[in-house]
Structure 1
């Protein structure tokens, strides 16, 4: 019996993941036929997936073509403001509601990720898993949904702030502070630690963008 073909949800997930890991970067053109061949699906689910991604502003129009969207300075700033507050809320709720097993997983993630400080791309992937675990530990489905949308939009940034010199080790120290607060069930400290973490990441991103503009001048 042949294996079932991927449906439109699978096509959406595969294209989204390709954007997230940088296979397709801001400004890259997405061609329906090429995507169908790449992912082994028919053109119909690809077409529906592209429409969904466009509705979510992850793709934009360039004439008749769809391209991976990019964020301008104002959009990036707005995204970080929202992310900072939502992530802080998630950490506060995690300090209240996380199970002992969830807290243990967070601690194990921090300790395991310390081995990745010299590999920014790998640490960036681990970083997403860490934040997702905090979201889930908040035990608030509506907050998780909103943070999922925020993190999908973060994929539109061409580089990770962890690529900045020294940022990986500092980020890991910040993660440790967040988990220590959650372990202590200190809601206020957990929320503040995560908001501070996002603020530092934002400042790092701003410095990266300033350096890029200087190099292009």
Structure 2
């Protein structure tokens, strides 16, 4: 587990519990904390240079987001997701991403359209750099979600993607998946630019289905 500090505890505007939450959340996202790993308060407090109280508060927040789970024998652990739950998770993601794309086709501003196009175009230049490609992919979906201008959908999608972070390494490293995802992003942005809600929704749903197949392949399913 690597929790090297990337945010400063010297920032007086950042509460200790928020600092710990951000660090643990990022560690789950980047795989430094893996499914089933124990989350002992005393160890985390020592690594992050804080008392146990903000660690406890951050863990409570993560538990509320279903990112950590209280195991009867091992204590607090990073949540494990079963194959059945993966299918359930992606079923919901498909519906929600489709809705976000349809709404974006209706409500995205010219500035948001330009941002989506710029981010999608950047994919091709990053195909050989997994870390930057993953970051760009995350930015694409976040921008797409915001472009739908529905705060409740945005909140739910944030939760869905938080759970996806528990699944481990990105599916973009599967052979052929990164260039395919780049083409899917291009088609999706084109539909949104045409203000074609139906096509945008179907493009988004198809993109999620392809992502699920790549994810299952990575998991050996």
TM-score w.r.t. the length of structure 2 is 0.89
Matched, 1:176 2:171: no
Deviations along 1:140-180, whole A, 9 cap, x unmatched?
A: 00000000000001111012111100110000000000111
Map of 1:89-104 to 2, 5 A cutoff? Answer: 89-104=99-114
Aligned equivalents of 1:186, 1:208: Cα separation in 2 = 33
How much is the aligned-residue C-alpha RMSD, in angstroms? 1.6
Shift of residue 64, structure 1, vs aligned partner: 4.3
Shift of residue 70, structure 1, vs aligned partner: 1.6
Number of residue pairs matched by the alignment: 210
Unaligned runs of 5+ in 1: 212-217
Aligned equivalents of 1:183, 1:155: Cα separation in 2 = 29
Deviations along 1:78-101, whole A, 9 cap, x unmatched?
A: 000000000000000001010000
Matched, 1:13 2:18: no
Deviations along 1:96-154, whole A, 9 cap, x unmatched?
A: 01000001011111112211112233312221111010000000000000000000011
1:114 aligned residue: 124
Contact 1:60 1:69 in 2 (8 A): yes
2:69 aligned residue: 60
- Where does structure 1 differ by over 4 angstroms across 4 or more consecutive aligned residues? none
Matched, 1:50 2:59: yes
Map of 1:65-80 to 2, 5 A cutoff? Answer: 65-80=75-90
Matched, 1:150 2:180: no
Unaligned runs of 5+ in 2: 1-9
- What SS does structure 1 have at the residue aligned with 2:189? helix
- What SS does structure 2 have at the residue aligned with 1:210? coil
TM-score w.r.t. the length of structure 1 is 0.91
